[in-house]
Amino acid sequence: MTLPVIKTIEDCSNITKTVLPYLPQLEVLRNNIPPPLFFVFNVTFISLAQSILLFLVATPSYVMLLAARHGAQWTTADLIFSRGLVTLVVLEYFADGQQWNYQTAKQQYLKTAKVQGGFDQESLDRGFVTSGLWSLSRHPNFAAEQTIWVVLYMWGCWTSEVVFNWTFVGAMSYLVLFQGSTWFTELITAKKYPDYQQYQARVGKFLPNIFSTGPVFAKAEKKVATAVKGDKRKVSASK
């Protein structure tokens, strides 16, 4: 039961994960709404509501603590739930790491024009990561993060021997927040990177797209597209 508490502390303290990904969205909001309205949003949502939400998603731990005090025993189901949470945390760790490595290599490439970090020039020019876990999901870290708190809620229900309890508020609010923030993030990303719409068509938002076949971006496709553009330029020049 200490895992949810540790995870909540990690989310609150890890600025590279909880703050930096939201800077583009905040900048867009700042530029498109009046300053007084942005101030209200900052105070009510960013500073207050998110802190309350982080508290709510961990409330199943309290239910589990009460159940333990009333004689609930450790069972095979508890072992499965706990191992599942550890697996999800590890999955999120690798997803965040792959994103971090790509962004680090991209920034270095933009500064020095040197391709590093095991990526090729084509991938860095594209502007967003599409390899590793990101070839299966557009947001593997978000998928793992949401699943962690849903599994924790389910664990709390199992321990207290109920199908539904009041801690549902935390998990559901977290899911709603991620739907909105992910939609807004992708709206900005699609406007910034031309290839992102193709990425959206081939890769699922959270879960893998079982109907997609082949690599996300084939080098041959890019060469063909470049050749077509070159032919069009030649035709335009000849006119």
Domain count, the chain: 1
- Interacting residues of 134 by C-beta distance below 8 A, sequence separation 6+: 95, 98, 99, 140, 203
Mean pLDDT computed over every residue of the chain = 82
pTM over 0.85: no
pLDDT (tens digit per residue) in 77-107: 999 999 999 999 999 999 999 999 999 999 9
- Residue that wins the pLDDT comparison between 195 and 30: 195
At 12, list the tokens.
Answer: 């609150």
pLDDT attached to residue 21: 43
In a domain, 214, yes or no: yes
pLDDT attached to residue 99: 95
Whole-number Å distance between alpha carbons of 50 and 105:
31
Give the lowest-confidence range in 16-25, 86-95, 112-121: 16-25
In a domain, 172, yes or no: yes
In a domain, 14, yes or no: no
pLDDT attached to residue 38: 81
In a domain, 8, yes or no: no
Whole-number Å distance between alpha carbons of 161 and 12:
31
In a domain, 224, yes or no: yes
Q: Could you write out the DSSP letters of every residue in the chain?
A: -HHHHHHHHHHHH-HHHHTGGGHHHHHHHHHHS-HHHHHHHIIIIIIIIHHHHHHHHTTHHHHHHHHHHTTPPP-HHHHHHHHHHHHHHHHHHHHHHHHHHHHHHHHHHHHH----TT--HHHHHH-S--SGGGGTBS-HHHHHHHHHHHHHHHHHHHHHT-S--TTHHHHHHHHHHHHHHHHHHHHHHHHH-TTHHHHHHHSBSSS--TT--S-SS-HHHHHHHHHHHHHHHHHHHH-
In a domain, 95, yes or no: yes
pLDDT attached to residue 212: 72
pLDDT attached to residue 215: 63
Q: How confident is the model at residue 43 (pLDDT cuts 50, 70, 90)?
A: confident
Q: Which structural domain range is residue 81 located in?
A: 33-233
Give the lowest-confidence range in 98-107, 137-146, 183-192, 219-228: 219-228
Mean pLDDT for 221-226 is 42
Mean pLDDT for 18-41 is 70
Mean pLDDT for 207-212 is 84
In a domain, 25, yes or no: no
Mean pLDDT for 184-209 is 93
In a domain, 221, yes or no: yes
Mean pLDDT for 113-120 is 90
pLDDT attached to residue 70: 87
Token pair 């999955």 in the structure block, residue: 91
